Amino acid sequence: MKKNFAPRLLKIYHTLHAHYGPQHWWPAKSRFEVIVGAILTQNTNWKNVEKAIANLKAEDLVSPDAIHRVSRKKLSRLIRPSGYFNIKADRLKSFTDFLMSEYGGSLKGMLREKTVTLREKLLSVKGIGPETADSILLYAAGMPVFVVDAYTRRILSRHGLCEDKASYNQIQSLFMENLKPDVRMFNEYHALLVCAGKTQCASTPACPGCPLQGY
């Protein structure tokens, strides 16, 4: 990244923070629940994910061991509200399989990995792509990795900070090469972009009432 985008990125962050306030992400009670949510929310409304997680909790299945043991059939039935339930059941299974084989089922063991190493390993798990991997790294592991999603791309291109076809890695680099690694801030920043994307900056070029108007 040749140009210094730090001032603009910081200004956007502070503007969104002042407008929307702290978002207190990730909405989950445990690290493992963060990971389950990260997989279930793929291309899906969070409200639907909450229903699926509530079903899992009702059966006391929100643990690596429980997910590993439960039948694929029962798992997909319980997560049905989150959509793509057959695929997502496989993805939850592939993650717990990975956790079992690589770390003996120990999430703590997994979280002791270096960030770069863990990211590569997560990306090798079937069903975990860049956004899901980075959500796990940031929100479950507490590592300073910036999460990029559809809202991030839309808002940044809308405000002329990237091409609308920019790749995931390009957008992630934009943040990580211009901002100091700061878990708290990366956490809030991504959450705020999602919040803004949901409300006003979503897709309209005019973006009426957008708190980022003029940037």
Partner DNA sequence: GACCAGGCACATC
Partner DNA sequence: GATGTGCATGGT
User: By the criterion CB under 7 A, which residues form the site for DNA?
Assistant: 25-27, 37-38, 41-48, 51, 80-81, 83-88, 125-133, 135, 139, 149-151, 165, 167, 194, 197-198, 202-203
C-beta closer to DNA: residue 51 or 121: 51
Amino acid at position 144, single letter: P
Q: How far is the CB of 102 from DNA (least distance, A)?
A: 16
C-beta closer to DNA: residue 2 or 47: 47
Q: How far is the CB of 8 from DNA (least distance, A)?
A: 23
C-beta closer to DNA: residue 129 or 181: 129
Give me the torsion for CA of 15, 24, 150, 172, rounded to 10°: 80
Q: How far is the CB of 69 from DNA (least distance, A)?
A: 21
DSSP string, 181-209: --HHHHHHHHHHHHHHHHHTSSS-SS-TT
Q: How far is the CB of 2 from DNA (least distance, A)?
A: 19
Compute the distance between CA of residue 161 and CA of residue 212 in angstroms, rounded to an integer: 13
Q: How far is the CB of 116 from DNA (least distance, A)?
A: 17
Q: How many Cα atoms are found within 13 Å in the side-chain-facing hemisphere of 170? A: 11
Cis peptide bond upstream of 46, omega within 30 = no
C-beta closer to DNA: residue 37 or 64: 37
- How far from 130 is each of 16, 76, 115, CA to CA, in Å? 24, 23, 13
C-beta closer to DNA: residue 203 or 213: 203
Compute the distance between CA of residue 180 and CA of residue 166 in angstroms, rounded to an integer: 22
Cis peptide bond upstream of 26, omega within 30 = yes
C-beta closer to DNA: residue 6 or 198: 198
Q: Which of 10, 34, 25, 14 is nearest to 194 (CA)?
A: 25
Q: How far is the CB of 35 from DNA (least distance, A)?
A: 10
Q: What is the DSSP letter of 213?
A: T
